[in-house]
Structure 1
Amino acid sequence: MTKQKSRIVILLAVLIVVCLAITILNVRENKMRVSLTKLVVENTAVHLIEHDGVQVAYDNGFPIPSFSTWKLNEDRRAYVSLNGLWKFAYEEEISCTASELSCSEAAYDDQAWSEQPVPASLDLAYENGKYQYAFGSFWFRKTFTVDRSWEHKFVKLNALGIGYHSVVYINGTKVGEHEGSTTPVSFNVSPYLNFGQENVIAVQIVRPAHDHYDEGALPAGGYDWWDYSGITRDIYLEATTPQTISKVIVDASPVTKQVHAYVVLLNYGNQSETITVQVNPGIDQVDPQSKSIAMAADEVKVLTFQFDTPAIKAWSPESPTLYSLETEIKNGDRLITEYGAVDVEVVDAKVLVNGSQEWFKGTNWHDENKESGRSMSPEEYRNEIDVAKHAHANLLRNAHYNRHPYAYEYADQIGIYIMDEIENYWLSEQAIGHQLYEKGLSREKAIAMAWNQINHPSVVIWSVANENTPNNTTHLAWFNDMRDLVRMVDPKKRPVTYASNTQHHPVDMSMSAADIIGFNQYYGFHGGDSTDYGAAEYRQKLLEIHERHPSKPIILTENGTWSSMGDRARQQWQAGNFAAHWDVTVTYPFTAGYVFWNLKDYRSKMEYTSRDPERLSGMGMVDWASRTPKVVYYYFQEATSLGANRIMNPRFDRGLAEWQLISSAAEGAITVVEEGLQVSLEASDTIQLRQNAFDLLAGSYVLELHIKGVDGQAAGKIELRSSYLSGGVLTKEFDSSGTIKLPFTLSHTGVTNVSVHLHVAGKQDVVLEQVRLLPVLN
């Protein structure tokens, strides 16, 4: 009996131990589950979490959604646009504690506040620019209603541009914060809404002073553009079913002829669900595919689909073919994703796009205009980007921040490459260390950039920084961190670069880690010898960089000078500077592009613009207000791999004003026709074409004229004149229509010009279809 009792005691003890162990394991498991949920919910920083082998970008507790829905065009989703009039007040002009109520609370009386448009750049739009030099807190409030049917949906507040620092409240409850003005952000507002009733959204925008320094901010302090603030881009509510498609990542290759789709799913519901997902890649003769998946409550999963697409066409600037991939949950959510098939890689100091070497003729640009600041409409974006396209640019560098989703969509549609970039600008070594080891905002912006723009075929290069302190291990570690995160997000592994300030530093060790070397330089303008526009110093630096990194392609990511409309000498200098630096760049096979600074004059908060009421930096190839082309616009437009054309084709739309047309013939002897200039001369008459711009450095050139006789015959003589030619003149006779080439060499110090004289033999009509003066590159 005693033994039996002992066995029972032992058995009970074992059972107790087992139960205790199970309890402990359950508690630990629950704690782990709670901790994981807490991490997901409370980690408001942009970060990556791997799901089913795919890195998913999170912000504010859930996967960053697709912002392509800003058009409010998904018919299985519901929307409330918050664009329109909002109540607005500057905190210094109001009391935020009326009757112990904060400006954020729903019951706060905002009747005395003004009504202002959203989206808009508050520093330009409100009260005739009254606030462009005001800093601190600005408040925005709006009343809205949502349908009662939204009560069981997943509701997001999507803001495409809000800041610099923003705090968002719904019905008096803080739903989140955001730092940065140009990266879209999304908040889960489902728990805070009054369904079928009025709601109040309040947004506090904190704008730092121009002369502030905050090593945790991006940029940290001084920077050379205008800090537009407010709710500057579209803002809207989006409601989906609880089981929703957060985003679809599409990797389409014209080389492998395959499309991979990674569908990011969120079950926001409070119970498990089995859902069926269908994906249609939108390509002829390729059938949709379906998969079913079980999802627990509050779970994120990724489904991968692979399609063989032998008929897929490559996206390129010449043929910007786009497809629409449709993803739908059976009896539930749907999301349309536009994409194009493009592959980008770096091989032997070359950038290959779709397997072929590409050379980027680009321009930097700022996302702004005189009328709307950084709150441009789609039409204004089209007008802005068309200027670059018409200048024959094939690349836009998004200096130095992300754009509205429409800018990428339009680039996809018209066929222009994008180098996308984030706000890591002019950071000190201390600020870089703070970002790398403490705050991590640089990391967040890099992840968000790649995640948000991943499906745009126009985006072929990622840039993560501009002109920061180089040549130290902190900078190298910082760049490596961002580069690796971008690569983790992007299944295409598009090249990652940054714009180095190497002109002012002998070595930049971080270049060794970049896929493409980006190099900003202003020799002859900011530093260096101006007698040759700094061309010799640039050439020397370019060769030094290539010698250190012979396997890497180099892109000149910035080069330019100041100029202004009406100042002819400055415009000529700007054009000559461009020509000299372009010619050096295209000389070498290891360069992959030239990116001019800047597409258009732009607003800057820097002190050097303080005397101008518009605060303009006049470095554009077109004017700020009128968008009128400057001399350099035509030089850029005509530049090719042969070099920069110093003499514009003398047509009414190609720089006729760049010439002095002198003729001894009667009035009307020179007329503009579609082909060029028609010249009607008597036997004793001549025409002189004198180039206005003084931009010819010492070296070898070739003058090319294409002349066509109206009656099929053309005969005469061309004279090239310059004081730096032997004998002062070179002569070339012609006796038929066609191209006439006249090579020559100039030997001098500084810059000069030449004049061209055309003599026609006998009475005849000829048309000058083309006049080019190109360097002999070496």
Structure 2
Amino acid sequence: MKRRSFLAGALCGVGFVALPVWPAAAQASAAVTPGGMPILNTHPPTEPSGTHVQRVGETNVVFSYGAVLPSFDGWRTREPERDYIDLDGQWRFASDPEVIGLDGGWNNSRYDDSEWQSIAVPSAWDLLDTPAFGSLDGSHFGEGTAFLDGYAWYRREVKLPGGWTERHLRLNFLAVGYSADVWLDGIHLGKHEGANTPFSLPITDSIRPGRLHTLAIRVFRRASYTSYSPPGQPVTDDFEIPYKPVDYWPYAGITRSVWLESVAPTSISKVLITTADGQLDARIILENHSHADFTGNVQLDPGFESTAETMSIPVHVPAGSVVVASIIIPIMQAPTWSADEPNVLTAQATLFTTTPGHDGRHHPVDRLTTNYGVRDLGIANGQLNMNGNPLFLKGLNWHEETAKHGRSMTPAEYDTELNHILALGANFVRNSVYNRHPYLYEWADRNGVMVMDDLDTMWLNTAQEREQTERYGLSRALALAMAWNQHNHPSVILWGLQNESEIDGSGAPVYRAWLADLKAAVNAVDLTHRPVTWSSSTTNDPAFDLADVIGFNEYFGYFYGQNTDLGPAIDRVHAAHPNKPILITENGTWALSGNHGSSSEQGTEEWQATYIAEHWEQAVARREFMAGYTLWVLKDYKERAGYNQEYNGVSVLGLITFDTEKPKLAYDTFRSLRLK
């Protein structure tokens, strides 16, 4: 079918907002805990990115660091009207255990870092010098850079092309763990908190195209304990998320890719797409960082596979402002996305000026490409449905790490890990307790694996929940970024708000207010209205009425009770909330690879396999109101939470081993699980 381009009238969002002013109080500082205790980072009055929502026309837009939170597809794509400088590679690196770097000028371009060591970006400094990190030999637990905490610095030079004059520049990070202060030639660009969330720092007044510039990044990781072997006292910070040691490894450093991006002064920051009732609704966020108004046209090509028309509308973007252009296109013949048929479509938005070039043609100013899928997701008759069909999720939890590279995995490692999901016959993965690299979401889109995205909000107590809701706002910022960044992925079907956090007293007012705040954040951003859930520590959660899908972690027969207690517990939840689907977000138990024996003997491969099968059967027996069962966990994983030190901090609850990915008996058991 040959498609044509035509103008669709009166579809540009009415109104605009000025770009917000930032920062207010996000300057870098340092603090040393007296008495030789571990270093704690300092915090501004509110979380330092200034992440918030503003209504632009009929669309809620997420702002961060005084600009629209942009698309991060530049990690793999290269739009032709944009320029990129890949900053992955070797950087200079030095730890700062005495917290002298800031006073010593380590952030300035004139500082001599020639004696510093070299480190790869992306990587986790945990693997810089920690022999046998992946082994089960705990005799050296507590040694090596895996236990290097506090501050460390990264530096490198970068030359900006002369053609970048009169362009808008931003410095993009996919992840830095746990927090980062960033300088360009000694000018502080901003501070970020959150180890697994991408962020983008605008570069405005400090660039000199054609010259060398110095980037300096100070990374912070809080110690988990005052000592590691044996574990001392937990080290906590009431503002960080998580605020205390948790049972996964807090990898440190610039753990994912970094790049500089140069765009036109007026450009496309983000494209949000939703599909319903045979229509594609695209919200194209346009951002003008210049001192002159922009007038032109924006065009949306919904992709050849959609069999739909390309449309174009006029736009006017005042200087220093943001406008949302809305384009609605009929897509009645577009193929749908499902686990069985994961049809991924590609849309492209292009911005043109109204003034033709010397050749008489209207040339593109900017363009942005995004993938999407056509699918209908909802809840009806107490069931989770897609495209009118009830879903039962056979799911896996999974930690994003390998013994060789930690959280800085290579594409080949992702493929090896994620292909286990397909081999096991699973159709669902929970991104347990943090956002993943974009590779995961794109892989899930292509392979028909549904995703519950998750936040770092693990094991918060009542004081932290109140602090986050009423003042600091980091959990809200993380929720906004999650829903904004993953908005277009058809594989993402659930937003997860928290994991096993504390429930306060009668009526749980603090807990409920915190969850309501997080739910409002994702609902404000998500035009597709995905269901919201969380991983409660109890089947008697007093806030289940706020959830769209009831989610809980259960370990009957392991930490408490008997295996057979699960079915009655599910029935009680269903009786209390008969119109809500129920999802087991975690269940499993441990086995040491090679340890064989009775199915009733804890720690054997036979016990683990039998345990999983018994819990699955009780969930499947109630499939008329169950959304699914999610196993904890695909692979053994590393943690610093003060236990499993005899196994070098490796938790052995996985279906496969941590270092060699050797399957245990339960691997075949889980693969064989079927709906009755």
> Which of the five TM-score ranges fits, normalised by the shorter chain?
0.7 to 0.9
Query: What does the per-residue CA deviation read over 1:525-552, in whole Å, with 9 as the maximum and x for residues that have no partner?
Result: 1122xxxxx2222122111111111111
1:630 maps to a residue whose letter is K
- 1:247-286 → structure 2 map (5 Å cutoff): 247-253=270-276, 256-283=277-304, 284-286=306-308
Distance (whole Å) between structure 2 residues aligned to residue 183 and residue 640 of structure 1:
35
- 2:639 maps to 1:604: yes
**Corresponding residue for 1:325?**
347
In structure 1, what is the equivalent of residue 566 of structure 2? Answer: 538
Which residue in 2 is equivalent to 1:668? none
Counterpart Cα distance in 1 of 2:127 and 2:191: 24
In 2, Cα distance between the equivalents of 1:81 and 1:285?
A: 35
Give the equivalent residue in structure 2 for 1:157: 171
**1:209 matched to 2:244:** no
Aligned equivalent of 1:170: 184
After superposition, the C-alpha distances for 1:647-682 in whole angstroms (9 at most, x for unaligned) are xxxxxxxxxxxxxxxxxxxxxxxxxxxxxxxxxxxx
Shift of the alpha carbon at 1:607? 1.4
Partner letter of residue 278 of structure 2? K
The answer as to whether partners of 2:635 and 2:658 remain within 8 angstroms in 1 is: yes
Q: Secondary structure at the match of 1:636?
A: helix
CA distance in 2, matches of 1:343, 1:379: 32
CA distance in 1, matches of 2:207, 2:256: 23
Work out the CA distance in 1 between the residues paired with 2:286 and 2:162: 25
How far has the Cα of 1:40 moved from its partner? 5.7
Distance 1:285 1:616 in 2: 50
Q: Is the 8 A contact 1:125 1:372 kept in 2?
A: no
Higher mean displacement: 519-528 or 357-366: 519-528
Q: Which residue number in structure 1 is paired with residue 49 of structure 2? A: 44
Partner deviation per Cα, 1:458-484 (whole Å, 9 max, x = no partner): 000110101112361111111111112
Correspondence list, 1:107-118, <5 A: 107-118=110-121
Q: Under a length normalisation based on structure 2, what TM-score does the superposition of the two structures give?
A: 0.86
1:215 offset after TM fit, Å? 2.1
Deviations 1:128-158 (CA, angstroms, capped at 9, x unpaired): 5731112110000011111011121111100
- Deviation, 1:89, is 0.4
Identity of aligned residues (%): 33
For 2:459, give the aligned amino acid.
Answer: W
Contact 1:535 1:584 in 2 (8 A): no
Given that 1:153 and 1:190 are in contact with CA atoms closer than 8 Å, whether structure 2 keeps it comes out as: no
Q: Is the 8 A contact 1:401 1:420 kept in 2?
A: yes
Deviation at 1:39, TM superposition (A): 4.0
Q: CA RMSD in A?
A: 1.6
Identify the match of residue 410 of structure 1 among 443, 448, 453: 443
Residue 494 to residue 404, structure 1, CA distance change in 2 (3 Å) = same
Q: Deviations over 1:446-502 (max 9, x none)?
A: 110000000000000110101112361111111111112211111110000001111
Preserved CA contact (<8 Å) 2:89 2:120: yes
Bigger relative contact order (CA 8 A; separation at least 6): 2
| 1:62 matched to 2:67 | yes
What is the aligned counterpart of 2:241 among 207, 218, 223?
218
* 1:194 equivalent in alignment to 2:216: no
Letter in 2 for 1:298: G
- Find the aligned partners of 2:335 and 2:458 in 1 and give their Cα distance: 38
Change (3 A) 1:325 1:103: same
What amino acid is aligned across from residue 434 of structure 1 in structure 2? Answer: E
Alpha-carbon deviations, 1:693-716, whole Å to 9, x = none?
A: xxxxxxxxxxxxxxxxxxxxxxxx
In the alignment, structure 1 residue 474 sits paired with structure 2 residue 479: no
Measure the CA separation in 2 of the matches of 1:214 and 1:41: 23
What number of residue pairs does the alignment pair up?
A: 595
Aligned partners of 2:524 and 2:116: how far apart in 1?
Answer: 47
1:539-590: CA deviation from partner (whole Å, max 9, x where unpaired): 2211111111111110011000011211123111101110111111111121
Residue 512 of structure 1: how far off its partner (Å): 0.6
The alpha carbon displacement at 1:611 in A equals 1.7
Q: Match of 2:266, as an amino acid?
A: Q
Alignment partner, residue 613 of structure 2 = 579
Q: Does 1:86 align with 2:91?
A: yes
Q: Which residue of 2 aligns with 1:761?
A: none
Q: Does 1:316 align with 2:316?
A: no
Question: 2:30 matched to which residue of 1?
Answer: none
Shift of 1:95: 5.5
Residues 120 and 233 in structure 1, CA contact (< 8 A), matched pair in contact too: yes
Deviations 1:75-119 (A, max 9, x none): 21100011000000011289637xx74110110110110011000
Q: Deviations over 1:388-425 (max 9, x none)?
A: 11100000000010011111111111110000000110
Which letter does structure 1 place at the counterpart of 2:106? C
* Cα distance in 2 between the residues matched to 1:497 and 1:151: 46
Select the structure that is richer in helix. 1
After superposition, the C-alpha distances for 1:212-249 in whole angstroms (9 at most, x for unaligned) are 21221111102110000100000000101011100000
1:691 matched residue in structure 2: none
Which TM-score applies when normalising by structure 1? 0.75
| Aligned: 1:296 with 2:331 | no
Please tell me the residue identity of whatever aligns with 2:287. Answer: L
Q: Please say if 1:240 is aligned against 2:263.
A: yes
CA distance in 1, matches of 2:129, 2:99: 16
Structure number with the higher strand fraction is 1
- Work out the CA distance in 1 between the residues paired with 2:367 and 2:568: 56
- What is the DSSP-based 3-state SS (H/G/I as helix, E as strand, rest coil) of the residue aligned with 1:431? helix
Q: Distance in 2 between matches of 1:212 and 1:150?
A: 45
Is contact 1:224–1:604 with CA below 8 Å preserved after alignment? Answer: yes
* Conserved 8 A contact 2:22-2:50: no
Output the amino acid matched with 1:59. S
Deviations 1:700-733 (A, max 9, x none): xxxxxxxxxxxxxxxxxxxxxxxxxxxxxxxxxx
Note the residue ranges of structure 2 that are not aligned, 5 or more in a row. Answer: 1-16, 25-47, 134-143, 225-233, 353-363, 598-603
Q: Secondary structure at the match of 2:420?
A: helix
Give the counterpart letter for 1:143 in structure 2. Answer: E
- In 2, distance between residues paired with 1:84 and 1:288? 40
Higher alpha-carbon deviation: 457-466 or 472-481 = 472-481
Quick check: 1:365 aligned with 2:401?
no
Inter-CA distance 566–185: structure 2 relative to 1 (3 Å threshold): same
Bigger Cα displacement from structure 2, 38-47 vs 573-582:
38-47
Moved more, 65-74 or 489-498: 65-74
Matched ranges for 1:409-488 at <5 A: 409-470=442-503, 472-488=508-524
Letter in 1 for 2:274: D
| Structure-1 residue corresponding to 2:667 | 633
The whole-number CA distance in structure 1 between the counterparts of 2:49 and 2:584 is: 37
Match of 1:634, SS state, is: helix
| Aligned match for 2:387, one of 342, 354, 366 | 354
1:227 corresponds to: 250
Relative distance call for 1:509 and 1:95 in structure 2 (3 A) is: closer
Contact 1:116 1:126 (C-alpha < 8 Å) held by counterparts: no
Which secondary structure does the structure 2 equivalent of 1:204 belong to?
strand
* Distance (Å, rounded) in 2 between the aligned partners of 1:429 and 1:94: 32
Distance 1:93 1:435, change over 3 A: closer
| Cα gap change, 1:143 to 1:226, in 2 (>3 Å) | same
Contact 2:297/2:314, CA 8 A, preserved across alignment: yes
The answer as to 2:376 corresponding to 1:343 is yes
Shift of 1:426: 0.6
Equivalent residue, structure 2, for 1:498: 534
> Alignment partner of 1:446: what SS?
helix
| Cα 1:38–1:386 shift into 2, 3 Å | closer
Per-residue deviation, 1:41? 5.8
